[in-house]
Amino acid sequence: GLVVWAVKPQTFKDAALHSRFHTKTALHLSVAAGIPSGSIARWLGTERIVRSMPNTPALIGKGITALFARPAATADDRLAVERVIRTTGDLVWLDEEVQLDAVTALSGSGPAYVFYFLEAMIDAGAEMGLSREQARKLAIGTFTGAAALAAASSEPPEVLRARVTSKGGTTHAAITSMDQDNVRTLFTRALHAARQRARELGEEFGGA
Is-contact 194 105, C-beta < 8 A?
A: yes
pLDDT in tens, 6-24: 999 899 999 999 988 888 8
pLDDT in tens, 139-166: 999 999 999 999 999 999 999 999 999 9
Q: What is the dihedral of CA 164, 168, 174, 175, to 10 degrees?
A: 70
Confidence of residue 122 (pLDDT cuts 50, 70, 90): very high
Is-contact 68 154, C-beta < 8 A?
A: no
Q: Quick one: fold of 110-196?
A: ProC C-terminal domain-like fold (1.10.3730)
Q: Specify the pTM.
A: 0.92
The pLDDT assigned to 64 comes to 98
The pLDDT assigned to 72 comes to 96
pLDDT in tens, 27-65: 999 999 889 999 999 999 999 999 999 999 999 999 999
The pLDDT assigned to 208 comes to 61
Q: CB under 8 Å, gap of 24 or more: what pairs does 141-145 form?
A: 143/114, 143/117, 143/118
Please state the rounded mean pLDDT for residues 65-77.
98
Domain 2-98 in this protein, CATH class = alpha beta
pLDDT in tens, 102-112: 999 999 999 99
CATH 1.10.3730.10 in the chain is located at: 110-196
The pLDDT assigned to 185 comes to 98
Is-contact 37 45, C-beta < 8 A?
A: no
CATH 3.40.50.720 in the chain is located at: 2-98
